[in-house]
Amino acid sequence: MHTQWESLANEHILGIAPYEPGKPVEELERELGIHDAIKLASNENPLSPSDRVQRAITDALATLNRYPDGSGYYLRHALARKHNLTAEQVVLGNGSNELIELLGQAGDVRQAALLVVGEDLERAAALAHVRRRAAR
């Protein structure tokens, strides 16, 4: 049975399994009767930020009332210098999903190929599938 929003969705969207995030580490510990578990999923780091990172965060607190540089000007230029590119050849995004979404919006994806390596990128593969189907 379709819900109200499902009647509005494109048919090819309905066949994609929803993302199911992992359980919080505290819940997993409770269920398994263990403690001091280290979670290595969800791009999380079991270590706290280094002293250098903590100082950079503290230094940035005074400017949190400003929008960040959406173009990543300094980062793009630094990456370009490091890899012998021009800044115009560097594209930044908030994760691989956003970059795939941008590619899908910018070009004809009907004939595009996407190589997905590892289980962590299954959402990227689903997004590419949606983009490719929507372009038909």
Q: Which domain holds residue 20?
A: 1-66
Distance in angstroms (rounded) separating the CA atoms of residues 58 and 75: 20
Is there a domain that residue 89 lies in? no
Q: What total of structural domains would you count in the chain?
A: 1
Residue 136's pLDDT band (cuts 50, 70, 90): very low
Residues 57-114 have pLDDT tens digits of 999 999 999 988 889 999 999 999 999 999 998 989 887 777 777 776 776 656 656 5
CA–CA separation, 13 and 16 (whole Å): 6
Q: Is residue 61 part of a domain?
A: yes
Residue 21 maps to a domain: yes
Q: Going by C-beta distance under 8 Å and a sequence separation of 6 or more, which residues neighbour residue 91?
A: 99, 102
pTM of the model: 0.51
